[in-house]
Structure 1
Amino acid sequence: MGNTVGKEFMLRTRYAYLEGTGQSQGHTQPELELPFDSTGNIIKLPEPDLLPDTNVNFLELVEMRSTSRKYSDEPITLANLSQLLWCTQGVKLVMPDSATFRTVPSAGARHAFETYLLVNNVEGLKPGLYRFLAIDHKLIEITTADNITDEVTAALLNQQQVKKSAVTFIWTAVTARMTWRYGERGYRYLHLDAGHVCQNLYLTARILNCGACAIAAFDDEQINQILGIDGQEQFVIYAATVGK
């Protein structure tokens, strides 16, 4: 039986097949964060270090982690959202033109993800689509069109928890950040990194008395188009809903 696409991917990303990387060839390192329109509607989030401390029994927290697809109409607060973002992509330290150190592990501190949010029920935020500016710990509004929730839900294969969620996290991978150092093998690491991020979302949601549901089933073309990304140099890699 011939190689399937998956088997071929695993084969061709072995070290034996890797050629010189952008880093080894002296190419300029990609930006640590994608540029954004500084004149857009930017929302400052509560600072993570000002959020109240929470006493956690870690083993109990891990045991209680579960997937929840049903949510109440109770909103989450902007502070809740800030904490969820901090624990999944929070930037602890910036080494200019070199790396960011964040609250999740990433191969070589490449941190290739951008976080987009479909907001449905967050206090102080108009429903719509936003992007997280991780280095500044702020949001920038992308669109508050009335039909955006329906569009995203359809792109996520009509999974109805998207409509009922307080917020849906959508993570995109900026491939150059990872492949600059690791070449084609970096595509493996992107998917591993996505797991680290989503697990932190689950655990943080539990602390906040919220439920979460990871989503890997989506129409790639459709969701990439909604976010205005090309699907190759940047593509949606994972998503997850959160709600009370």
Structure 2
Amino acid sequence: MPDHIQIHEEIGRQFMEHTKYRSLGRSDQEKGIPQPPLELPMTAGKPVFKLKRPVDLDIPSMDLRTAIERRRSIRSYEKIPLRCDELSFLLWCTQGVRQISGSVATFRTVPSAGARHAFETYLLVNDVEGLLPGLYRYLALSHCLQLVASDPALHIDIAHAALDQDFIMRSGVVFLWTAVPYRMTWRYGERGYRDLHLDAGHVCQNLYLAALAVGCGVCAIAAFDDDLMASILGIDGVTQFLIYMATVGKTGRDR
């Protein structure tokens, strides 16, 4: 077997081996290096949309057992727009900030290793009342959305970058979670990359369960071209990269 093929086949095992605690040195936190910001800054000159505060949302309750029993991936959606307050609810359930501890940490509606919360949430808006189609970023600390790009062909580009999964174009909105790894590795070193993938699961499961309360279905997506997605999102793919995504759309069925 050629050496380069063997290396690629073993890369997963190498990653697990080299991120064991015995392989780690001192973290940047232990070295006294200041931590990175809790959130990426807003982009100057781009419009910002205030979302309804979580406390003001009127969302029907759903029994947790019922939500868990009904949880499944759904790829077929009705041509019914999401309401902006429903989107606000889903954003709060997946990255909502319950408490800010100065510039040190945030405590949110999902768990994260060491309360590092290394994710940024981007949204491909296809059909949401009150929002033009386009790419947005969720500003979790202020519970706002900022427009990133309003390219009308963006849904086609993102579907193509997700290995031509066309149901992306028929969804109401697509959640795209990017990781800013230094927020995590600052404390945990290279082992922090393990935590990023664990955190992605926490976030997406919350989306699955919360979506049922607003008559929506969800389909998680891990198959995408990393470099192409980075280009579309305007990130470098190294200091910030796409880690997970999920479509959301109305199912047309009663809760």
Map 1:8-47 onto structure 2 (within 5 A).
8-47=14-53
Q: How many corresponding residue pairs?
A: 244
CA RMSD, Structure 1 to Structure 2 (Å): 1.1
Which digits, 9 at most, give the CA deviation of each residue in 1:202-235, with x for residues without a partner?
A: 0011111100000000000000111111111110
User: Quick check: 1:29–1:97 contact (8 Å CA) kept in 2?
Assistant: no
TM-score by length of 1: 0.98
Q: Which amino acid aligns with 2:114?
A: G
* Mapped partners of 1:94, 1:23: distance in 2: 20
Map 1:61-76 onto structure 2 (within 5 A).
61-76=67-82
Q: CA deviation at 1:39?
A: 3.4
Percent of counterpart pairs with the same letter?
53
- Note closer, same or farther for the CA distance 1:168–1:229 as it changes in structure 2 (3 Å cut): same
TM-score by length of 2: 0.94
Partner residue, 2:166: 160
User: Quick check: 2:120–2:178 contact (8 Å CA) kept in 1?
Assistant: yes
Q: CA deviation at 1:61?
A: 1.2
* 1:122 aligned onto 2:125: no
Q: Which amino acid aligns with 1:84?
A: L
* 1:191 aligned onto 2:197: yes
Partner residue, 2:57: 51
Partner residue, 1:220: 226
For residue 98 of structure 1, the aligned residue among 98, 104, 108 is 104
Q: Which amino acid aligns with 2:177?
A: W
For residue 133 of structure 1, the aligned residue among 113, 131, 139 is 139
Q: Which amino acid aligns with 2:176?
A: I
Structure 1 SS opposite 2:193: helix
* Mapped partners of 1:161, 1:100: distance in 2: 34
Q: CA deviation at 1:53?
A: 4.7
Runs of at least 5 residues in structure 2 that lack an aligned partner in the other structure: 1-5, 251-255
Q: CA deviation at 1:27?
A: 0.4
Q: Which amino acid aligns with 1:208?
A: V
Comparing 154-163 and 209-218, the one that deviates more: 154-163
Q: Which amino acid aligns with 1:14?
A: K
Which digits, 9 at most, give the CA deviation of each residue in 1:21-55, with x for residues without a partner?
A: 01000001000000112532001111111011533
Map 1:84-95 onto structure 2 (within 5 A).
84-95=90-101
Q: CA deviation at 1:12?
A: 0.5
Map 1:76-87 onto structure 2 (within 5 A).
76-87=82-93
For residue 151 of structure 2, the aligned residue among 145, 150, 173 is 145
Structure 2 SS opposite 1:200: helix
Which digits, 9 at most, give the CA deviation of each residue in 1:164-204, with x for residues without a partner?
A: 00000000000110000000000000000000000000001
* Mapped partners of 1:107, 1:54: distance in 2: 30
Q: Which amino acid aligns with 1:69?
A: R
Following TM superposition, the consecutive aligned residue runs of length 4 or more in structure 1 with deviations greater than 4 angstroms are: none
* 1:4 aligned onto 2:10: yes
